Amino acid sequence: MGTNRLEAFSDGVIAVIITIMVLELKVPRDTTLVSLRSLAPQFLSYLLSFVVVAIMWVNHHHIVHVARRADARLLWSNNILLFWMSLVPFVTAFLGNNPHDPRAVALYGIVLTLCSISFALLRNAIIQHHRDNEDMVRYHRRIQAKNLYSMALYFASAPLAFVDVRISFAIFVFVALSYFLPERKLAET
């Protein structure tokens, strides 16, 4: 399997993940503002997860694009990432239905932690492809640092949900927003 096929397969899985998430949004029976307002937790959890999955998709595209080959390490690390990502619709619905329950918030944080760990594994597989190019290794390690702080924050969000779920929600939003900050280019390494 070439990297093009790997990317196409992953794109398809990620598209299904987003589709499943939106299908969890149930249309209210009536058109009152109260009915729409009652859907706010589900919609907000969907919005957060859509942004998170979109960030993962963009990062996945950039990571896989620089892969030199689709070796076993790359394929399996990619499958591990897709597995954890495939649980995002479940934890999104669970969170949307239970936004004040620390167990739902903690589970959301745990799944995002496992997605981050999987991204680190995927990036390490790519780093191995570029062992002979010190600039590329340095570039990937710098990007990996951002992934590691995201992982640490997501990990912290799980126990912090039992202190106050708002802290965990702040972490989820902060991490997502941090990915909209521009990265330094490879030439600047």
User: Is residue 139 within 8 Å of 188, Cβ to Cβ?
Assistant: no
> What integer pLDDT is reported at residue 131 of this predicted model?
75
> What integer pLDDT is reported at residue 30 of this predicted model?
86
User: In whole angstroms, what is the distance from residue 100 CA to residue 45 CA?
Assistant: 12
Q: Which domain holds residue 7?
A: 3-188
User: In whole angstroms, what is the distance from residue 63 CA to residue 118 CA?
Assistant: 12
> What integer pLDDT is reported at residue 169 of this predicted model?
97
> What integer pLDDT is reported at residue 184 of this predicted model?
57
**How many domains would you assign to the chain?**
1
User: In whole angstroms, what is the distance from residue 148 CA to residue 146 CA?
Assistant: 5
User: Is residue 109 within 8 Å of 154, Cβ to Cβ?
Assistant: yes
> What integer pLDDT is reported at residue 116 of this predicted model?
96
User: Is residue 26 within 8 Å of 97, Cβ to Cβ?
Assistant: no
User: pTM of the predicted model, to two decimals?
Assistant: 0.89
DSSP 10-56: HHHHHHHHHHHHHHTSPPPSS--HHHHHHTHHHHHHHHHHHHHHHHH
Using CA atoms, how far residue 172 sits from 143, 182, 188, in Å, is: 19, 19, 29
Q: Tell me the pLDDT of the chain (189 aa) as tens digits.
A: 567 888 889 999 999 999 999 998 888 888 888 888 888 999 999 999 999 999 999 989 888 887 778 888 889 999 999 999 999 999 999 999 999 999 999 999 999 999 999 999 998 888 887 778 788 778 777 878 888 999 999 999 999 999 999 999 999 999 999 988 766 554 343
* DSSP H helical ranges for the chain: 3-23, 33-38, 40-65, 72-86, 88-97, 102-129, 134-160, 165-178
